[in-house]
Amino acid sequence: MKQEQLFRSRAPIRVDLAGGWTDVPFFAAERGGAVVNATINRYTYATLAPRADEKIEITSADFQQFLSVQNFRELEYDGNLDLIKAAISRLGIQRGMNLFVRCDAPPGSGTGSSASIGVALIGLLNLLQDNRLSAYEVARLANLLETEELHIAGGKQDQYAAAIGGFNYMEFKDPSVNVSPLHLDTSVVVELEKHLVLCYTGKSRLSGNLITRVQEAYLAGRAETVGALERMRDVAVEMKSALLKGQIGEFGRLLQANWECQKQLDASITTDQIDHLFEVAGAAGAVGGKALGAGGGGCVLFLASPDREHDVRTALEEAGVQVLDFNFEFGGLRVWNSWNGARVVD
């Protein structure tokens, strides 16, 4: 029986720890941005099976969406699986295929899931074409899927996190990006894994023009906006130092400091629910926290004081949110070939 060759890829999601928003071009180009983030063991998986004809069939397990077109010329951006279409278009794929995509992250979680999908797709299609793009090149192309193909405003940290993996300190001076891996002592990593508590509040309900509002406030010279962005950039620099020195308490303080600045950017970044979760978690022993991504819902990350993580978890669950277990992931994009399920690492 003829074996079917499959192409597969995997890319992690991330938790943004400090400096988010300063990677957005309107700020990074003028003042330079800095971010600290880390990838975790939740992933986007993508599988591609070549077809003998030109038909393209796409399945998204997360959104329970299916698309079938006769050939690549019929792909159009219409709000249905557009990110996947953008990857096919950007890489100039003109052949038939069956494409399956799923992501471990809940929708609207603020964990960079769309960037993880973009990176997994670029890696997958790159493998199909037998190209040898670097992680930086994959990240750059994945970012262009959103910013150029789909005209979605946003920063760049998510794509570089998904492509490279691990703990990273990133510097942005648009259009350039510099990623410095943070080689933390194992004791620091496991201490963070023990005491960090990640919860999911439900899909973020931020309005689509949030970035536009923050950009307009920044360009108008609103002192609170400019000051908050500059402080978040500085917090990222301080957090890099705290992590490398193993200063977990200082890390928690900086996590909270970043959140206080983040809330100054727009009223919609926090919600009554999120404020309540901070009260509940704080009473149970949390020493700092922040909403991931832009905020407005999605995931919130808390650092518990020593041996209080169970109390924080219990309090959050009793408040009605889902606690998500995780460990840190030190690999980025992975691609491989599979024949009838037999894995062969590329």
Which residues carry out catalysis?
A: 158
SS3 19: coil
The vertex-119 CA angle with 62 and 8, nearest 5°, equals: 70
Give the containing element (helix H, strand E) for 245. helix 223-245
C-alpha to C-alpha distance for 298 and 111, rounded to whole angstroms: 8
Helix axes of 272-284 and 309-318: crossing angle, nearest 10 degrees: 140
C-alpha to C-alpha distance for 251 and 235, rounded to whole angstroms: 10
C-alpha to C-alpha distance for 172 and 84, rounded to whole angstroms: 26
CB atoms within 10 A of CB 63: 13
Q: Which residue has the tokens 């620099």?
A: 237
